[in-house]
Structures are given as C-alpha cells and as structure tokens.
A = this chain, B = another copy of it.
Amino acid sequence: MLEKIDLSKKLNKSEYKTISTELEYKLGELQRKVRELKIPVIVVFEGWDAAGKGTLINQLMLAIDPRGFTVYPIKAPNEEERYRPFLWRFWTKIPETGRLAIFDRSWYGRVLVERVDKIVSKELWSQAYEDINAFERQLADDGTVIVKFYLHITKQEQKKRFEKLLKNKCTSWKVTEEDWRHHKQYQQYARAVEEMLDKTDTNLAPWTIIEAHDRRFAIVKMYKTLIAAIERRIAEVQKSEYKYEKITAKVEVIDSHVSILNQIDLSHSLSREKYEKELKKYQKRIRDLEHEVYVKRIPVIIVYQGWDAAGKGGNIKRLLQGMDPRGYEVVPVGAPNDIELNHHYLWRFWIKIPKAGHFTIFDRSWYGRVLVERIEGFCTETEWRRAYREIKEMEAHLANYGTVIIKFWLHIDSEEQLRRFKSREVTPHKQWKIGEEDWRNRKKWDQYQVAVDEMLFRTNTSYAPWTIIEANDKLYARIKAIKTVVQAVENRL
C-alpha cells in the first residue's frame, strides 16, 4: 500500500490559503452539528517519526472549538496502565457523545513499536489485531465516527528532518537514539505498517494515508477526509435517527431452549453451625489468597447478578469481611448517570476494571444491557442482541490478560422473593430497601426469566463461566459463593 503512494503532491501557498480557510469554516460548522446530534468522533494520528503529526494535530486543534475535543498523546504505558489489559487505557479515553477525541499515536502502538522493538511477544501482538478490530467495531456500531491517518514520508525525508531538528539546540534533544534506531529499521517498520494497514482497514474504521512531504497538502487532505467522514455520519443520523427512539418492551415468554433456571434445585440448605465453621475457614483462606494474588499481580473480577432480594448485599459482605480493603473495590451498578449515558455502555465498566493484583466486585454489571435494558426498552433490540458478542469480547480481552472472572447468578424462586419483600416492609432498618420499583419488577418475573436464561446460555464461556448460586437459603448461598471464589483463584495460582 505504501509503495503506491505518490509523495510528490504539493500545494502552493495561495491555493492553500483559500482552500484551508474554507475547510476550517466547514469543520467548525460540522463540529457544532456533531455536538447537536451527539455524535462521538475519534481521530487517530499514526505515522513515521518526524512525519509531522504534531503540526497536523496543532492545525486541527486551532481550527476547531476547544470546548469540543481532547487530545491524547500516547506514550509507553505507565504503571497504572501496564497493570491492566492493553485496551484499558484507550477505553477510558473514548469520547463522550458530541466530542472529538484526537489520538497522537494510539492502540496501534502494539502492532508497531511494541512489535518491532520486541516489547511484547508475537502471540500478544498477533492477538491485538482481533482486539483492535473488535474495539473499533464496537465503537462504530455505537455511532462513533472513526478516522485513522497514517502520515507517510520516505526514509530519506525522515533523515533530512532529523538533521534539521538536530541543528537547533532547543529541538535537538527531540531526536533520540531510539529515533535513529527506528530510522535504521525503516524497512522492518514498513513491513509492520503494511500488515497493520492490511489487517485493520475496515469499512467502519478505514485508514487514510497522508502524503506528508508537503505540509500544506497534508493539512488539506486531513481536513477533507475528516469532513467527508463526519458528513457521512451526519447524513446517516439525520436519515434514521436510530439512536433516539425509545422502544417498548418486547420479550416473548416462549421456551425456545430448555430453561436453565427451571432446572435449578433450590432445596439446598446449611445449618447455622456448619455455616459458621465453613465461613470462618473460607474467610481466612480468601484473606491469604488476597495477598498471594497481590504478590503475583493477578486481577480478579467477581460479578454478582441475581433477582431482587436474592441476598447479593449480604453475600458480598461475607465474602469481603475478612479482606484487606486495599486489595478490593466494590462497584455498585445502578442506572447510568449523565456522563455515562454519553458514552458507549461498556465504558463505565472499563474504567472500573481492577488493577492487576486486586479484586473488583461488581454488584450488578454490564449484564444489565441484556436484562433490565432489554426488558425496559432502554436500548434497541439490535443493541442488546449485539451485546452478547460485545460482552464476550470484553471478557475474553480481560481473560487473555490473565484476569480471573467469576460470575454469579443468585437464584431464588418467586415465592421466596415475595416472602423477603414482605419481611422488608415490616422490619424498620430494612424498609428503605423496598419500594414501588421492586414490586413493579416483580410483575415482570417471567420476562426476566427469559432474558436471564438467554444470558446464561449465550455468555457462559470457558474463560468467564457462570456459577448459579441456589439462594433460597442464604447461608448455603454465602458459602457456595465464597467457596467458588476460593477455588477459582486457587486454580489460577
């Protein structure tokens, strides 16, 4: 691809002045439109060292309203970032709706510098293509415009530019030994770039190669590409307005496959005496495991889902009682706030995943997408159907990094829920736990059961399996949960 590029393209000053001013006005106008229509935009700048990424980005920044974008210079990952899967630091930076996120280098570092400099193994960087494509597809499916630039210059041109930087004492420090080493490896790099362009040039997130010998030509090409991409999306949005419809619930209660939930034996129970003994044993064990996990830098994710009043809170409390608070975090998940609503639905979970060596307990989770959001029509059918794959991709990415993923469904039957709701209503320090909404949800038990069954069926994987906790008996449920965690962590160790 790179060889076919004509690098002699040029634009003279007066031509440039006329064209660029027009394009800048156009871009400003589109930016206001993007905000109004709540479209998120990602712009990626990759390219050879000294190809002029900084100049182009600066030009773009000055052309648009600073209230509407953020620039992210991407360097080698810092400690916080190294202790998380590689896409984490990019997920945390995806734009809110209506904003641009501009990346000065990006997730492609993994298949470029990290590959060529052998910072990661072949296994890791090969895997990255798939992860990157999934990442971009998920964002594009959610309505994000993704524009990716590769700034191309020849080896000779690069050398010339390095030498120029070296002549000025204020800029000479910018040309490092590493830059020269990369310069010498130009051919190796070129092969990596070719492969990257080949494997990640998708219809949802295509690459644009910018001939970067002539600054003016490069700027104009950048403007035009960006404008075209944004205009395309605006046209789509205006035509369909697919993002803003509110769908009414539509969950048909038919058993297309045999219900998993109906096969659960809820008669398990445990005596208080046995419970106390087991609890003590496992709490001690998990505290020790917490330390081992920290030393070995293993991240652990525990997801709690279950019926209202299934006992999630009490269960989590027993799990954590003996643990060191520096080693875990509980993330309670409710309705998304404004900021969260203005991002991809997985964003609020990505920003909360554990640092290697720590536990994160999600009290409800991303599975809300295929449960409450599905039932209540907070997302479209296309969206929740897509979510099964998206969730599995996220969990696979976490698991590939070495994360232990444990997912609980706390199961009780409808009669038991009724008993607990009533008991809450008459117990003074529990009254705040029960309200209208719980009763409303209860009426939709059958719809939820269909959704839960489908979720258990579709998202049960070897790397992130579901464990159903029979929770009619709270004591039994607590021991089963903590025991499951202990075993899963021991298996990993």
Is A244 part of the contact surface with B, judged by Cβ < 8 Å?
A: no
- Looking across the interface, which residue of chain B has its beta carbon closest to that of A73? B326
Pairwise interchain contact B288-A71, C-beta atoms closer than 8 A? no
Q: How far is the CA of A80 from the CA of B77 in the complex (A)?
A: 12
With contacts A67-B334, A78-B80 known, is A62 near B320, CB below 8 A? Answer: yes
Is A15 part of the contact surface with B, judged by Cβ < 8 Å?
A: no
- CB under 8 Å from chain B, chain A span 56-96: 57-58, 61-62, 65-67, 71, 73, 78-80
Pick the interface stretch among A168-176, A467-475, A484-492: A168-176
Q: How far is the CA of A317 from the CA of B324 in the complex (A)?
A: 51
Q: How far is the CA of A289 from the CA of B170 in the complex (A)?
A: 8
- CB under 8 Å from chain B, chain A span 311-329: 316-317, 320-321, 323-326, 329
Name the distance in Å between A459's Cβ and chain B's nearest Cβ: 24
**B residues within 8 A CB of A325?**
54, 57-58, 61, 71, 73, 104
What is the 8 Å Cβ interface bit string for chain A, positions 238-265, against chain B (1 contact, 0 not)?
Answer: 0000000000000000000000000000
Q: How far is the CA of A104 from the CA of B317 in the complex (A)?
A: 20
Pairwise interchain contact B320-A58, C-beta atoms closer than 8 A? yes
Is A295 part of the contact surface with B, judged by Cβ < 8 Å?
A: yes
Is A292 part of the contact surface with B, judged by Cβ < 8 Å?
A: yes
**B residues within 8 A CB of A142?**
none
Is A426 part of the contact surface with B, judged by Cβ < 8 Å?
A: no
**B residues within 8 A CB of A317?**
62
Name the distance in Å between A449's Cβ and chain B's nearest Cβ: 26
With contacts A71-B329, A78-B78 known, is A173 near B54, CB below 8 A? Answer: no
- CB under 8 Å from chain B, chain A span 132-181: 168, 170-171, 173-174
Pairwise interchain contact A54-B326, C-beta atoms closer than 8 A? yes
Pairwise interchain contact B291-A429, C-beta atoms closer than 8 A? no
Of the candidates B58, B79, B104, B323, which one forms a contact with A321 in the assembled complex, judged by CB atoms under 8 Å apart?
B58
Pairwise interchain contact B25-A66, C-beta atoms closer than 8 A? no
Of the candidates B28, B174, B321, which one forms a contact with A291 in the assembled complex, judged by CB atoms under 8 Å apart?
B174
Is A32 part of the contact surface with B, judged by Cβ < 8 Å?
A: yes
What is the 8 Å Cβ interface bit string for chain A, positions 334-370, against chain B (1 contact, 0 not)?
Answer: 1001110000000000000000000000010000000
Is A270 part of the contact surface with B, judged by Cβ < 8 Å?
A: no
**B residues within 8 A CB of A171?**
288, 291
Is A120 part of the contact surface with B, judged by Cβ < 8 Å?
A: no
Pairwise interchain contact A332-B67, C-beta atoms closer than 8 A? yes
Name the distance in Å between A294's Cβ and chain B's nearest Cβ: 9
- Looking across the interface, which residue of chain B has its beta carbon closest to that of A71? B325
Pairwise interchain contact B332-A173, C-beta atoms closer than 8 A? no
Q: How far is the CA of A326 from the CA of B58 in the complex (A)?
A: 9
Name the distance in Å between A101's Cβ and chain B's nearest Cβ: 14
**B residues within 8 A CB of A338?**
337-338
Is A418 part of the contact surface with B, judged by Cβ < 8 Å?
A: no
**B residues within 8 A CB of A432?**
32
**B residues within 8 A CB of A330?**
61, 66
**B residues within 8 A CB of A25?**
429
With contacts A80-B78, A292-B170 known, is A324 near B58, CB below 8 A? Answer: yes
**B residues within 8 A CB of A170?**
287-289, 291-292
Q: How far is the CA of A136 from the CA of B326 in the complex (A)?
A: 24
**B residues within 8 A CB of A295?**
173
**B residues within 8 A CB of A332?**
65-67
Q: How far is the CA of A295 from the CA of B65 in the complex (A)?
A: 29
- Looking across the interface, which residue of chain B has its beta carbon closest to that of A318? B62
Pairwise interchain contact A363-B66, C-beta atoms closer than 8 A? yes
Name the distance in Å between A302's Cβ and chain B's nearest Cβ: 13
- Looking across the interface, which residue of chain B has its beta carbon closest to that of A333? B67
**B residues within 8 A CB of A66?**
316, 330-332, 363
- Looking across the interface, which residue of chain B has its beta carbon closest to that of A79? B78
**B residues within 8 A CB of A57?**
325
- Looking across the interface, which residue of chain B has its beta carbon closest to that of A69? B330
Chain A interface (Cβ < 8 Å from any Cβ of B) = 25, 28-29, 32, 54, 57-58, 61-62, 65-67, 71, 73, 78-80, 104, 168, 170-171, 173-174, 287-289, 291-292, 295, 316-317, 320-321, 323-326, 329-332, 334, 337-339, 363, 429, 432
The 30 sampled A-B contact pairs (Cβ below 8 Å) are A28-B429, A29-B429, A54-B324, A54-B325, A57-B325, A58-B324, A58-B325, A61-B320, A61-B330, A62-B320, A67-B332, A67-B334, A73-B325, A73-B326, A78-B78, A78-B79, A79-B79, A104-B325, A104-B326, A168-B288, A170-B288, A170-B289, A170-B291, A171-B291, A173-B291, A173-B295, A337-B338, A337-B339, A338-B338, A339-B339
